[in-house]
Amino acid sequence: MKKIINTPEAFVDEMIEGILLAHPDQLRTPGDDPRVLVRADAGAPGRVGIVTGGGSGHLPLFKGYVGTGLCSGVAIGNVFSSPSSQQVFEATQAVDGGAGVLYLYGNYGGDVFNFDLAADLSELEDITTRTVVGRDDVASQPKERKADRRGVAGIFFAYKAAGAAAERGDDLDTVAAIAEDVVEHTATMGIGLSPTILPTTAQPSFTLEDGEMEIGIGIHGEPGIHRGMLETADQIADRIVGALVADLELTAGARVAVLVNGMGATPLEELYVLFRRVHQVLSGLEVTIARSYVGEYATSLEMAGASISLLALDDARLALLAAPARSPFFEEV
């Protein structure tokens, strides 16, 4: 696998350096650690801060959602590895404006451990924190174990809603409750067609035979729920949307936001072919798509594949999704 890098060891830091050089008006490092990034106006007095974080390799997740109406800061780990508790704590200090800080990140063991440690460090500095964990991957656990599901692309909806709430001046408990509400009403499932090749090892994150696909695969190559011969775009969409609709218990008259997300190596044209079928299926169920997002929102380096996320909407969730937001990787006006 050919990669445009210098050395595997420098990959993450040089990527971050490039982002900062490209977007100096939007992002900054608050201290000496380049793996802690915050929005340019982080720490505004009276505004709730939102800190996210996780491993590299998933752009625009996580660092791509630091900006106006989104997250306030991010702690960045190595490829597919958690940031340290100290990095999370430094991001917390930088974004705290006296109104407290929400931790909003995906449900992975290392991240949970280090964010929890950072919360303890923050408490010693009289910074109040709340935690909401993304857990939208319906393939990773059955519904009765929803709390143990992985967090994947659907966390975008939580960033958007919580960021809008913080921007309008809601207090910490309200921002956290909004994030939790959105997480609770979000469901995602993905499909993998080819693996990621890790820069440090040059090894694939999983293997598939020629002509195979895997439904339910995780963004780090975690096993899915079905492996078989590649199906048509319509068949794939039918499988995934059927599972999401059942999980969210959607009925006629429901409204949803749809995210069709590319995993890194899937052409945008193919994502729109998927969206076309998603629209057909939901329309046939008399479920209205009130907002739609198609593109790369949570990738896995050069993995080929896609995921589909649905957020069940009410008026409050819809208004928060529609609020303005801007980061180097996303803009909603």
**Which residue in the list 185, 220, 226, 279 is annotated as catalytic?**
220
Largest CA distance in the chain: 55
| Phi, psi at 238, each rounded to 5° | -60, -45
* Distance (Å, whole) CA 6 – CA 279: 42
Structure tokens at 138: 């319906």
Torsion angle of the four alpha carbons 247, 250, 255, 258, in this order, in degrees rounded to the nearest 10: 30
3-class DSSP string for 162-182: HHHHHHCCCCHHHHHHHHHHH
Helices and strands of the chain, counted as H and E runs? 8, 14
Instruction: Estimate the crossing angle of helix 315-322 against helix 172-184, to 10 degrees.
Output: 110
- Report DSSP state, residue 148: G
* Distance (Å, whole) CA 64 – CA 74: 9
Q: Cα 182 from chain centroid?
A: 13
- To the query of whether residue 58 is one of the catalytic residues in this protein, the response is yes
* Distance (Å, whole) CA 333 – CA 297: 18
**Which residue in the list 58, 185, 226, 279 is annotated as catalytic?**
58
Residue 181: closest CA among 208, 160, 199, 196: 160
Structure tokens at 61: 């997740």
* Distance (Å, whole) CA 254 – CA 232: 27
* Distance (Å, whole) CA 187 – CA 42: 30
Which amino acids are annotated catalytic? 58, 220
